[in-house]
Amino acid sequence: MNIDEVIPETEDAAISLEAILKALPNLKTFKYYLPNNSLNIITTKTSEELLKIPHFLSLDEFEIKNIPEIVDITCFYGHIKKNKKTKIYLVFSDQISDEYKIQLQTILDEILETENRDYKVPFIHFTGITDSSYYIMLTLYRQN
């Protein structure tokens, strides 16, 4: 089934990511490549709203690519540290700022420096990630 069959998108308005997920309560795997201008699909509240959807927390896989820096990664990182079920794969837009890259690298460093992780390690990628962080993160993600 295509997402367009569940939630048709009009030329004038994009459907938010959380609306798509709310409409698919039996979904187990969600993979989506965000269009370049995704500000109507993703907002500053997206992380918070996703975490309110009960079946979002029970997905087997959640993969988003081309994520803009408008996403509240700190809020989502709170979920990541509690996540024991979902394989999370996040690839950020090439257009994110240096400040946002520093924020992402800080999160990666914290994940990689934690010895006893009681959560599924996500895969997080962005332009500028250190090579060592990339390879360690990928290895840990694949071990989940």
**Do the Cβ atoms of 68 and 96 come closer than 8 Å?**
yes
Task: Please write the tens of the pLDDT for every residue from 98-129.
Answer: 999 999 999 999 999 998 899 999 999 999 99
| DSSP label of 54 | G
Chain centroid offset of residue 39 CA: 15
Domain count, the chain: 1
Q: What is the pTM of this model?
A: 0.87
Task: Please write the tens of the pLDDT for every residue from 44-65.
Answer: 899 999 999 999 999 999 999 9
Range of the domain at 73: 3-143
Q: Which helix (H) or strand (E) holds 66?
A: strand 61-67
Determine the Cα–Cα distance for residues 82 and 102; give it in Å rounded to an integer: 22
Q: Strand locations in 84-129, DSSP E?
A: 87-92, 123-125
Tokens of 96: 């994110």
Q: Which helix (H) or strand (E) holds 126?
A: none
